[in-house]
Amino acid sequence: MTFPLLALICIAALLGPLLALPRTWHVPVVIGELVAGILIGRSGLRLVDPGEPTFTFLADLGFALIMFVAGSHVPVRDQNIRSALGSGAARVVLVTAAAAAVGIAVAALFGTGHAPLYVVLLASSSAALVLPIVGSRSLKGPNVLAMTAQVAIADTLAIVALPLALNPATAGRAALGSLAVLASAAALFFLLHKAEQKGHRRRVHEVSEQREFALELRIQLAVLFALAGLAVWSHVSIMLAGFAFGLAVAAVGEPRRLAHQLFALTEGFLGPLFFLWLGSSLDLRELSTEPNMILLGLVLGFGAIGVHSLTRLLGLPLPLGVLSASQLGVPIAAATIGIQQNLLAPGEPAALVLGALVTMAATTLVSARRRLSTG
């Protein structure tokens, strides 16, 4: 990795904001970043090598931070959300049951043997995508609360289940590693909660703000990277470490100043670098030799929309059901882990990303409607 190459990566990543700039397009920034990676990576000009150790390590840092921010966005402290957990959980059960049937059928149809992975993908949601849409459109009401609770539950369960589903042969070891990471995150929650109650966090915040030490950011990053190290040591994806720590911070309450600092670090540098690395890792040429993988991606995307739309049977308006199908973190994580550990068939990582893009396109179309029915 050289500075000119890093400059090229940062310049290419600007394609994300450029495509998202026209408000009428409603294009998520991540799509432009993935496209930029595809253009300069294995599928395009081959200007960057996704296997280069420094590039890969920086991408891992971005991945951990992205999942941390996603976890911190889950509204675990919202009393209204808690009251909707029952109806949200019921919809998660319905979606998961339908996803199990569809996922097994898809794996049998394409002969990949990855039924557990497809079930998790079909049942997953993305709080990081759905919650900003809810906020920007000022969506309110009991149906919106229930949908938000459903998304939060599905997102959390899918992230915990993904390492087990990706490689069932090592599920026992992955389960123990997941328990170690989750137990550590729970312990951190209690420590943070105690520090908040005793006023320690407030004193650190005041000193940090007055002296411009950025102590909270330094501490959070140290803890996040320590959890990521535990995850790697215990053969679990850093995805779980980042998301679990984000949930712990969200449960205690994240200071606004710290949120802004993390936003700048994640969205300004390491997050775009990760998505560009992922795009550069995808070899779309494999799709030309494995056209069934294009069909697999489309089936997974439309299948996710279909199983989430079944929540209409439990009273959720169809547009909100489509919103709840929006995917980002889980399929991206599955593709990333699959590439790193060589767990997927040729073209399958691209198929997983294509499926996620289908759900994001549907979400974009639904959210772009001038009047979004919430029931």
User: How far from chain centre, in Å, is Cα 67?
Assistant: 6
Looking at residue 306, its pLDDT comes to 95
Beta strands in the chain (DSSP E): none
Looking at residue 225, its pLDDT comes to 93
Give the integer Cα–Cα distance in Å for 173 and 184: 17
Task: Indicate the SS3 state at residue 54.
Answer: helix
Going by pLDDT thresholds of 50, 70 and 90, the confidence category of residue 278 is confident
Which residue shows structure tokens 């919430």? 374
Which residue shows structure tokens 């209204």? 80
Q: Between the CA of residue 53 and those of 59, 73, 314, what are the distances in Å? A: 10, 30, 49
Looking at residue 42, its pLDDT comes to 86
pLDDT, tens digit, 9 for 90 and up, residues 118-176: 999 999 988 777 776 776 666 777 888 888 888 888 888 888 888 888 887 777 777 88
CB–CB of 156/98 below 8 Å? no
Exposed/middle/buried for residue 233 (C-beta within 10 Å: 0-12, 13-18, 19+): exposed
Maximum distance among all Cα pairs of the chain, rounded to whole angstroms: 62
Q: What percent of the chain has pLDDT over 70?
A: 95
Among the listed ranges 5-14, 210-219, 288-297, which one has the minimum average pLDDT value? 210-219
The full DSSP string for 155-221 is HHHHHHHHHHHH-GGGHHHHHHHHHHHHHHHHHHHHHHHHHHHTTHHHHHHHHHHHHT--HHHHHHH
CB–CB of 96/308 below 8 Å? no
Which residue shows structure tokens 């995805």? 239
Gyration radius of the chain's alpha carbons: 20
User: How confident is the model over 199-223, as a mean pLDDT?
Assistant: 83
Which residue shows structure tokens 């997953």? 124
User: How confident is the model over 306-325, as a mean pLDDT?
Assistant: 91
CB–CB of 258/216 below 8 Å? yes
DSSP letter at 304 equals H
CB–CB of 355/297 below 8 Å? yes
DSSP letter at 370 equals S
Q: Which two tokens stand for residue 156?
A: 């959390």
Residue 236 sits at φ, ψ, to 5 deg, of -120, 150
pTM as predicted: 0.79
Other residues' Cβ atoms within 10 Å of the Cβ of residue 245: 27
Q: Which helix (H) or strand (E) holds 321?
A: helix 318-324
DSSP letter at 25 equals T
DSSP letter at 141 equals S
Q: Between the CA of residue 327 and those of 59, 80, 135, 181, 251, what are the distances in Å? A: 20, 24, 18, 24, 23
Number of H helices, E strands in the chain: 20, 0
User: How confident is the model over 187-195, as a mean pLDDT?
Assistant: 89
- Which amino acid does the sequence have at 224? L
Give the integer Cα–Cα distance in Å for 57 and 66: 14
* Nearest CA among 303, 333, 322 for reference residue 372: 322
- Which amino acid does the sequence have at 182? L
Give the integer Cα–Cα distance in Å for 26 and 360: 10
Among the listed ranges 93-97, 155-159, 358-362, 369-373, which one has the minimum average pLDDT value? 369-373
Looking at residue 136, its pLDDT comes to 60
Looking at residue 222, its pLDDT comes to 93
User: How confident is the model over 285-300, as a mean pLDDT?
Assistant: 87
CB–CB of 158/330 below 8 Å? yes
Q: Which two tokens stand for residue 162?
A: 């993904």
Q: What percent of the chain has pLDDT over 90?
A: 27
* Nearest CA among 157, 176, 154, 174 for reference residue 166: 174
Looking at residue 211, its pLDDT comes to 80
Give the integer Cα–Cα distance in Å for 175 and 371: 44
